[in-house]
Amino acid sequence: MKSQKSYKRIVVKVGSSVLTEGKTQLVVANLEKIVKHIADLTAQGKEVVLVTSGAIASGLSCMGISKRPTKLADLQAAAAIGQNILMQNYTQALSKYNLRCAQILLTREDFFARKRFLNAKNTILNLLSLKVIPIINENDTISVDEIKFGDNDMLSSLVSMLIEADGLEILSDIEGLCRNYDEDKKTYSDLIKRVKQITQDIEIVASGTDNATCIGGMESKIEAIKIATNMGIPVVLANGLNPKVRIDFSDPENSDGTYFEVSSDKKTSKKHWIAFGAQACGSISIDEGAVKAVLNKNASLLSPGVKEVTGEFDIEDVVDITDKDGEVVARGIINYSSQQLMKIKGKKSDKEVIHRDELVLLK
């Protein structure tokens, strides 16, 4: 039975494995397949945001380099050169469907600060209202984290959170999450069609990749998918090289790839940001009674329960809350600076340390 929910706002993430087939050169025909898929979605009345890789590979091709460099400066140079090439190809391909696009380059820091987070959100939503396709990439010219650790999987998840997307498509070069991998033939089999919850078994199934231009693998995808589904956003992992790929969030049984169901724990937009977007500026260790009150009674955090204060933070910064063993059990927006909190910890105070409406449970 089909869901009655309207899945209007969709984030599409495409990786280098699709756009380059594992080489250091953009395969324009593959890019055009992705653009055709986006055009089909817009024809259905969907709002589409594209998160794309491919800038580094495009730059390496332009520079005549056939193997991914290891020096950060070379990767940054390739990204700076290749981003223009990548956007030119998207602009030309989208124009065939009378679609316009805009480039947005983000760094992880754009999600840390609430003001920058909201500015990015407003820009993307305004572009969508103007019927323009936002094309988002990590700012590889200045972002060390993306070059070292990701393939835009986490970025697509955070963008989905940012704009409160109805669904996230991760288009890769495989059919979905598969249980078996043939090392000799480099082929996958035994597709898992539906995942209700990302368990330890699912994490074990996840594996990496050794493609020349890709550093993200199935493990990074699973981590990103876990965040998206925890935010109430369903995810489909499918083959972006398939020109007839079918993805329908309202009817997952008839969709290609692997459908990841949402968690039952849906958070508000601000709590999404606190949990997954913001950077913790410090931490607070609380006693056992406070842990039980916060986790089991939906209570605000009060100063008598505070045992230790670590780091320097100001009022309205985001801090982690830990138990006696140092495990992070929650995160929230603080009503005191670290200096103020040091003076009142373990004592009664006039207001909550963190109000329950600005507190996110992580355990």
Assess whether pLDDT exceeds 80 at residue 146: no
Within 10 angstroms of residue 280's Cβ, the number of other Cβ atoms is 17
Low-confidence winner among 69-83, 96-110, 347-361 (lowest mean pLDDT): 69-83
| Spatial separation of the C-alpha atoms in residues 262 and 276, rounded to whole Å | 16
Q: What is the residue-wise DSSP string for 315-363?
A: TT-EEEEE-TT--EEEEEE-SS-HHHHHHHTTS--SS-SB-GGGEEE--
pLDDT computed for residue 149 by the predictor: 38
Assess whether pLDDT exceeds 60 at residue 147: no
Helix-helix angle 28-43:72-95, to 10 degrees: 50
Mean per-residue pLDDT, 27-38? 95
Using DSSP, state whether 178 is helix, strand or coil: strand
Q: Dihedral angle at the C-alpha atoms of 115, 119, 122, 126, nearest 10 degrees?
A: 170
Domains of the chain: 9-270 (3.40.1160.10), 280-361 (2.30.130.10)
Q: What does DSSP assign to residue 260?
A: E
Mean pLDDT score of the chain: 87
pLDDT computed for residue 283 by the predictor: 96
Using DSSP, state whether 268 is helix, strand or coil: coil
| Spatial separation of the C-alpha atoms in residues 328 and 363, rounded to whole Å | 8
Within 10 angstroms of residue 10's Cβ, the number of other Cβ atoms is 23
Specify whether the CB–CB gap between 35 and 47 falls below 8 A: no
Using DSSP, state whether 195 is helix, strand or coil: strand
Task: Place 266 in a pLDDT band, splitting at 50, 70 and 90.
Answer: low
Please enumerate in sequence order all residues whose Cβ is within 8 A of that of 269, keeping only pairs 6 or more positions apart, or say none. Answer: 161, 164
Exposure of 168 in the CB half-sphere (CA atoms within 13 A): 37
Here the tokens at position 295 are 């986790």
Which one has a higher pLDDT value, 54 or 265? Answer: 54
Please give the distance of CA 161 from its chain centroid, rounded to a whole number.
Answer: 8
Averaging pLDDT over each range in 40-54, 56-70, 255-269, which range is the top one?
40-54
Q: What does DSSP assign to residue 114?
A: H
Specify whether the CB–CB gap between 135 and 167 falls below 8 A: no
In the chain, % of residues over pLDDT 90 = 56
Assess whether pLDDT exceeds 60 at residue 62: yes
Instruction: Convert the pLDDT of each residue in 148-202 to its tens digit.
Output: 435 689 899 999 999 999 999 999 988 888 887 665 655 667 889 999 988 888 8
Instruction: Convert the pLDDT of each residue in 304-319 to its tens digit.
Output: 999 999 999 999 999 9
The residue among 166, 138, 126 whose CA lies nearest residue 41 is 166
Here the tokens at position 121 are 């959100």
Here the tokens at position 217 are 């693998």
| Spatial separation of the C-alpha atoms in residues 65 and 59, rounded to whole Å | 9
Assess whether pLDDT exceeds 60 at residue 256: yes
Averaging pLDDT over each range in 7-11, 136-140, 203-207, 239-243, which range is the top one?
7-11
The residue among 101, 225, 126 whose CA lies nearest residue 167 is 225
Helix residue spans in the chain (DSSP H) = 16-20, 28-43, 55-62, 72-95, 109-112, 114-129, 144-149, 153-162, 200-205, 218-230, 269-272, 288-296, 338-344
Mean per-residue pLDDT, 289-300? 94
Task: Place 265 in a pLDDT band, splitting at 50, 70 and 90.
Answer: low
Global pTM reads: 0.82
